[in-house]
Amino acid sequence: MKHIFKKGSNPQRPTLLLLHGTGGTEQDLLALADKIDPEANVLSVRGNVSENGMPRFFRRLAEGVFDEEDLIFRTEELNQFLDEASDKYEFDRSAITAVGYSNGANIAASLMFHYKDALHAAILHHPMVPRRGISLPDLSGKKVLITAGTNDPICPSQESIDLQQLLQEASADVEVHWENHGHQLTFSEVEAAAAWYQNKSAGRR
C-alpha cells in the first residue's frame, strides 16, 4: 500500500496510523499527527480503491452503503500491511493509534470490529458503523474517541451513537466529542483529539 513513514523521536510513544477520507491522500492528515503527538512514529496510508479517481479504503455501493465483501477484504489487507510495516520499520505492532477521517475512520473502526489486536487506540473523525449484526472481539483495554457533527449530512448522529454502543458492548473505553457542525473536520475537533490522546493514550498501555 502506498504510504509515508516518519520515524518519531520518542520510541516510547505509539505509532500514529493516519487514514484519509474519500479523495484524500497519505499527505492529508500529517498536520494532525504533529498536533496530536509530534514525538510519535507516523504511518500514513493511501487507500487502494479508486472511486472516479478518488482514493478510498474500500468500495461503496452508494452514499452510506458499503460494499461489505470489499470492506472485509480491504480490512484484512490493511491489517496484513500493518504487520509487514511494523517489521520493516521496527515499531511496536501492539502500540498503534489510528487517526482516521470519514472513510479512513470507517476502515479503522472495521479493523477493531474484525481484529482484536489490530489497534491499541483509535481517533475516529466522523465515522459510521462499518458492519452490523456481527459479534465483535473482546476490546478490553482499547481506547476510542469518536468526533461527530450534529448536522452531518453524510454521517447521521445515530451512526456515532450506535458505534459508541457497539464498541462499549465489546468492552472498549469510548468517548464521543460532539460539535454543531457538518461533515468537515474542524480545528476544535483536532484540539479535542489531541487533549484526549494526551490523557488517554500516549504511552499508557
Determine the pLDDT at residue 183: 93
Q: Which domain holds residue 41?
A: 3-200
Beta-strand runs (E) in 8-68 = 15-19, 41-45, 49-51, 54-56, 60-62, 65-66
Q: Does residue 47 form part of some domain?
A: yes
Q: Does residue 140 form part of some domain?
A: yes
**With bands split at pLDDT 50, 70 and 90, how would you rate the model's confidence at 204?**
very low
Q: Which residues contact 52 (CB under 8 A, 6 or more apart)?
A: none
**With bands split at pLDDT 50, 70 and 90, how would you rate the model's confidence at 201?**
low
Active-site residue numbers?
A: 102, 152, 183
Q: Does residue 205 form part of some domain?
A: no
CA neighbor of 126 nearest in space, from 109, 159, 143, 102: 102
Predicted TM-score of the model (pTM): 0.95
For the cut 70, the answer to whether the pLDDT of residue 205 exceeds it is: no
Cα separation values, 124 from 11, 87, 90, Å: 24, 25, 25
Q: CATH number of the domain at 102, please.
A: 3.40.50.1820
Compute CA 27 distance to the chain's CA centroid, rounded to the nearest angstrom. 15
Q: Does residue 59 form part of some domain?
A: yes
Give how many domains the chain has, as a whole number: 1
